[in-house]
Structure 1
Amino acid sequence: MAAVIDLQIKKHQKELYYPLSVMRFYNSNGNKLAWIAPDTVKNHATDAMLLLDCVLQYGLNHANYHPGKLLYDELRLLRSSTASVSDERKAVFDIWLTDAMLAFENNLHYGRFNPNYPAGKIDVDGGDGFNSTAMLKAALISEEFTTAITSAQPKSKIYLDLKRQMYLETGLYTNDCYEFPQKGIQNMAINMERLRWYSVGEKTPVEINIPSHILTAHVQDSDIYFNLKMTKATLIALEKLLGSSAPITLSVLRGQVILYSLPLINDHLKDLSGISLIGGAKDLPLHISVLKSKKLAKLLSRRDFPQIIVNDIPLKLTYITGEIKGGVLISYNDIYGLDRDLTQTLYQTVKKIK
């Protein structure tokens, strides 16, 4: 069986989402079957299939997890103690299911279309250190298989609220995981995807969500929110910074939030009207008005000078256009028109098998 598994991984390498991860997974268990066992032996194959059936509840697309290969009738046949089935057939099904579960874990952790962590990068070097193969191995021996697998998700409140509402909308309310997502469900799905992007990589103490005009300060075990006022010119400038790899820092100066980012500030912001600049500053700052600025300044202050409070605080810009408040989906203005393309990508892009 070990030789058969090794041969089938190589044979189907181009059809797998994470071929190197699949290879590492089987190498680590001695190239043994992970899912296919006699029907008298308890394992998590059915749990995994059921989980993949309802990936829509996690804002993902069922079509991206080998649905044509992973059939319940095939699983029953392969596990039957009376049917005569070749080792090759068992190995192929086992490999498909392993690849689907590794893809599901990585999609929950990184997002399916994370611009900084595409599947190829994750497969080669493991992305930000998250180890989907180790997590899958641990889940296979766990009594709480689903909990172990889905622990890959972000832990932020906004994400968990969206996930719960998605579960209600696609599971309890409709009782149909395959119903085509309506507008509200699509909005929740694309924002869950973005929140996965933001959850990996370096964490920052402060975030500004552009569509909602809200600054969030992460303080110990709680979050404190501040409303911002942004001009049209400011929004144009922030679009240049959104998704940039250049570090951005935040300061609070005489009632204003000031963003610094080199070299993007110099390249894109200096000629925009409506943006006030501090004369003589080496990096031209972007000013945003903040309500309750004294409270924010006190919260973030590390250095206090007469009539000026300056804080060099690492900042992350986010683009979340929907969140759950009081059990209701609140939608924000899609300022930059990014929702449509991401929606189409999530629901219409399916891996082409070569």
Structure 2
Amino acid sequence: MKKYPDLKDCALKRIPAGVRSFICLLIILSIITASPANSKASNGRELSEEIEKQLNSGHLWLTFPASTKKFYQQRKFDANWITTDTEAKQTWQAMLMLDCVLQFGLSYEDYHYNDHLPSMLHDILEAPDKVSLSRQARFEIMLTDDMITFINQLHYGVLNPQFSSANIDTASAAVVRAEAVLKNAMKEDKFMRAIADVQPRSKEYESLQEYLSSAVQYLDNCYELPRGELRHVAMNMERLRWAGITDKNFLMVNIPSYVLKYYHQDSIYRFKVIVGTPKDPTPSLQSELKYFITAPDRKLPARIFIEDVVPNAIRDHAYLENNHYTIYDRQGRYVNPDHDKLMEIKQKPSVYFARQSSGCDNAFGAVVFRFPNVYAISIHDTPEKQLFEKEERAFSQSSIRVEQPAQLAALLLEHDHAKGSVAAMQKAIAAYKNKRFNLNRAVPVKVVYLTCESEGGKLTTYKDIYNLDKSLELAMFDLERPLSKM
């Protein structure tokens, strides 16, 4: 007598909402454990041949076709989920996890539920002769594709701007390979924990997921799309997946909250920031901070040079000197900015640029923290200290201005085992001395756009200053994302 759950007449979706939600919550917390499932197929070689045939047919609509095929190629196309000589606990747990994707902030629309119903698995295990070989193979393949989809969505998100589904599926250099995660998870006693471990490891993500999980269990039907507040939480969990946070030590700027958090081990240091205006928004990005500079000079962005500096210099002959600006041509040669030359520059501004020398009026202030990015933005000091007193602080031209930059610089040096350099840094700032301080270990930089955060079970929402929520909501919940046909 087989000792697997008898779900023929009570599939998880038919269980009363409260009981079903409680089961889902247990899954999220990885409480349920199981022993590895045996990989021997119920119909042996015939089933393996049918799996191979279907994968090679080009007739299956899969989300991650290359990854799914690779998973079975490594098994010589043997079945993974259908087994006769174990309790198939891994299979049931996989299906339970997929049945509760809402509690991970994901959507049921991305999965092939009708191809691996619990009642079908019951029939395959109880009376395999009544289920065609073709249908068994399809059950196998679709459940694998869904688990690979689930793993990728947990790690990369659904709409990651840097990693499309096609890119994740075919790129061998992807950090997380879902088919490998699934293969290893099948060997683990704690199958569900092994799958869930691919999620971001940040306090922000964990707090939002806990909030979502605890809220969903009180819904009458956890199989509907999340609405209102819960949809808002799911969207911001998605953004945190894009950030790719894997380290305990990193800098994170949340644009809508106007806060920079420096995480080091178990400590969090908070700093107020000023971010870009809606006209000049600060972009979300990932990078690494390897050095900072005291008393920096500043190369002006081309748009500021063309739209602000040149017109002001033409109107006021003292403007360049008063603001410590110097103009150069593209070969780096100094340009004498008399009126005639300025009019010539106005006609062809793209072949010139300006730098602002260090000093108390420099827009970068006393310190600039530079990190590579295509937007050419940085985190830096500012002479406009009064702006930090305002509640809403979207005033900059893309870059990020930070309050108390010397304190942040000192923390970075101390945690980089360079505490002896703190005094030299403070002296360089006081003397407006241009000096570079290199870090022995690069610190990841994550600039994110979170319009809500959870702390202590309380949800805090922020103003959507760049009006990005609506487009993400439509993309995540209302627009159909086509699958890839093999």
* CA offset digits 1:165-191 (Å, max 9, x no partner): 1100112x2263213312111111111
State whether residues 211 and 332 of structure 1, in contact with CA within 8 Å, keep that contact through their aligned partners in structure 2. yes
- Map 1:178-257 → 2, pairs under 5 A: 178-199=223-244, 205-230=250-275, 234-236=276-278, 239=281, 241-243=282-284, 251=292
Question: What's the TM-score once normalised by structure 2's chain length?
Answer: 0.62
Structure 2: any 5+ residue segments left out of the alignment?
A: 1-46, 310-321, 326-354, 358-375, 383-399, 414-420
Match of 1:299 among 411, 421, 429: 411
CA shift in 2, pair 1:259/1:321, >3 Å: farther
- Map 1:39-50 → 2, pairs under 5 A: 41-50=87-96
State whether residues 117 and 127 of structure 1, in contact with CA within 8 Å, keep that contact through their aligned partners in structure 2. no
State whether residues 248 and 315 of structure 1, in contact with CA within 8 Å, keep that contact through their aligned partners in structure 2. yes
The answer to whether structure 1 residue 176 and structure 2 residue 221 are counterparts is yes
Cα distance in 1, alignment partners of residues 67 and 97 from structure 2: 20
- Please, which moves more after superposition, 190-199 or 243-252? 243-252
* Bigger RCO of structures 1 and 2 (CA < 8 A, at least 6 apart): 2
Q: If you compute each CA radius of gyration, which structure gives the higher value, 1 or 2?
A: 2
Match of 1:143 among 164, 189, 196: 189
C-alpha displacement at 1:71, in angstroms?
Answer: 1.4
Q: Report the AA paired with residue 197 of structure 1.
A: W
Structure 2 partner of 1:319: 449
Structure 1 partner of 2:346: none
- Map 1:102-113 → 2, pairs under 5 A: 102-113=148-159
CA shift in 2, pair 1:190/1:207, >3 Å: same
Cα distance in 1, alignment partners of residues 407 and 278 from structure 2: 27
* CA offset digits 1:25-82 (Å, max 9, x no partner): 0011121111112386434121111111110101000121112322122221122246
Cα distance in 1, alignment partners of residues 294 and 255 from structure 2: 20
Cα distance in 1, alignment partners of residues 214 and 169 from structure 2: 33
Cα distance in 2, alignment partners of residues 7 and 123 from structure 1: 20
* CA offset digits 1:90-113 (Å, max 9, x no partner): 111100000000000000000111
CA shift in 2, pair 1:245/1:182, >3 Å: closer
Question: What's the TM-score once normalised by structure 1's chain length?
Answer: 0.84
State whether residues 248 and 265 of structure 2, in contact with CA within 8 Å, keep that contact through their aligned partners in structure 1. no
Structure 1: any 5+ residue segments left out of the alignment?
A: none
CA shift in 2, pair 1:348/1:314, >3 Å: same
Match of 1:74 among 94, 112, 120: 120
State whether residues 249 and 265 of structure 2, in contact with CA within 8 Å, keep that contact through their aligned partners in structure 1. no
Structure 1 partner of 2:76: 30
Q: Report the AA paired with residue 266 of structure 1.
A: P
C-alpha displacement at 1:348, in angstroms?
Answer: 1.9
Structure 1 partner of 2:332: none
CA shift in 2, pair 1:269/1:96, >3 Å: farther
The answer to whether structure 1 residue 334 and structure 2 residue 334 are counterparts is no
* CA offset digits 1:114-172 (Å, max 9, x no partner): 0111111111114532121111112222221111111110010000000101100112x
Cα distance in 2, alignment partners of residues 238 and 221 from structure 1: 34
- Please, which moves more after superposition, 134-143 or 334-343? 134-143
State whether residues 112 and 146 of structure 2, in contact with CA within 8 Å, keep that contact through their aligned partners in structure 1. yes
The answer to whether structure 1 residue 350 and structure 2 residue 480 are counterparts is yes
CA shift in 2, pair 1:48/1:277, >3 Å: farther
State whether residues 43 and 140 of structure 1, in contact with CA within 8 Å, keep that contact through their aligned partners in structure 2. no
C-alpha displacement at 1:9, in angstroms?
Answer: 1.2
The answer to whether structure 1 residue 16 and structure 2 residue 55 are counterparts is no
Q: Report the AA paired with residue 117 of structure 1.
A: F
Match of 1:124 among 152, 170, 176: 170
- Please, which moves more after superposition, 136-145 or 75-84? 75-84
State whether residues 248 and 264 of structure 2, in contact with CA within 8 Å, keep that contact through their aligned partners in structure 1. no
Q: Report the AA paired with residue 463 of structure 2.
A: N
C-alpha displacement at 1:277, in angstroms?
Answer: 7.9
The answer to whether structure 1 residue 99 and structure 2 residue 145 are counterparts is yes
State whether residues 249 and 264 of structure 2, in contact with CA within 8 Å, keep that contact through their aligned partners in structure 1. no
Q: Report the AA paired with residue 324 of structure 1.
A: S
Structure 2 partner of 1:162: 208
* CA offset digits 1:10-38 (Å, max 9, x no partner): 23565101111011100111211111123
2:237 is paired with a residue of what secondary structure?
A: helix
- Map 1:279-298 → 2, pairs under 5 A: 279=325, 280=355, 287=382, 289-298=401-410
RMSD across aligned C-alpha pairs, in angstroms? Answer: 3.4
Q: Report the AA paired with residue 403 of structure 2.
A: L
Cα distance in 2, alignment partners of residues 352 and 86 from structure 1: 28
Cα distance in 2, alignment partners of residues 259 and 343 from structure 1: 41
What is the number of residues matched between the two proteins? 342
2:453 is paired with a residue of what secondary structure?
A: strand
Identity among equivalent pairs (%): 30
- Please, which moves more after superposition, 199-208 or 287-296? 199-208
